[in-house]
Amino acid sequence: MKRLLLMRHAKSSWKQPVADAMRHLNERGRRSARAVALELELMDLEPDLVLASNATRCRETFGEMTRRTRWMNEKRVKDVKYLSEFYGIFDRPATEQIFLSVQEHAREDHESVLCLGHNMGWELALDELVGPRGRRSCGSPLEMNTADLFVLECALDSWDDVFLSRGRWAVRQTIRSRELIGEEKR
């Protein structure tokens, strides 16, 4: 059994006139990232490998996630890769790039991989990963707001088989960051 933790970056700020890839998290984003990490820790779902976009807001999201958890100082996360390939997938599913990156970077001892990126690519990938049957059984919309995380599982023996898994992933848990920090969607 392999596990993908598919997460959209936390809320970023639009206040500074910087390039899109250089936007920083705002305060709500920092709180949300920490809350999601604590929830994962409580559920004993820390990732073995993190594959994240190299955009500032993704780097800061993962940085905030490690601030209040034992992940890094106890070596629970074995490897972190910031990938330029994960940035810029806004208008199509990111499924192919996620699969390529997982196949390239995941080792056999990695049972759980956190993929941290951007919408719409991540939300469209989520839809492709679970397929029609998964959408029906999920019970909640496959909408991915900032800092939302979907825990997906698939009966794979090896990450080498990831390209055969499209439509076979099951949603095991949905973590809605706004619920964790007590903020309603506007």
Residues 6+ apart with CB under 8 A from 161: none
CB 119 within 8 A of CB 10: no
Q: How long a stretch of residues is the chain?
A: 186
Q: Which helix (H) or strand (E) holds 122?
A: helix 121-138
CB 185 within 8 A of CB 11: no
Instruction: Return contacts of 41-46, CB within 8 angstroms, 24+ apart.
Output: 41/69, 41/70, 41/71, 43/151, 43/173, 45/3, 45/5, 45/112, 45/151, 45/173, 46/71, 46/76, 46/77, 46/112
Per-residue pLDDT of the chain (186 residues; tens, 9 = 90+): 999 999 999 999 888 888 889 999 999 999 999 999 999 999 999 899 999 999 999 999 999 999 877 766 656 677 899 999 999 998 899 999 999 999 999 999 999 999 999 999 999 999 999 987 777 777 666 899 999 999 999 999 999 999 999 999 999 999 999 999 997 665
Residue 17 pLDDT: 84
For residue 49, the SS3 value is strand
* Gap between the Cα atoms of 81 and 29, Å rounded: 21
Q: Which helix (H) or strand (E) holds 137?
A: helix 121-138
Q: Which helix (H) or strand (E) holds 48?
A: none
CB 178 within 8 A of CB 11: no
Specify the amino acid at residue 159.
Answer: W
For the domain spanning 2-180, the CATH number is: 3.40.50.1240
pTM summary value = 0.92
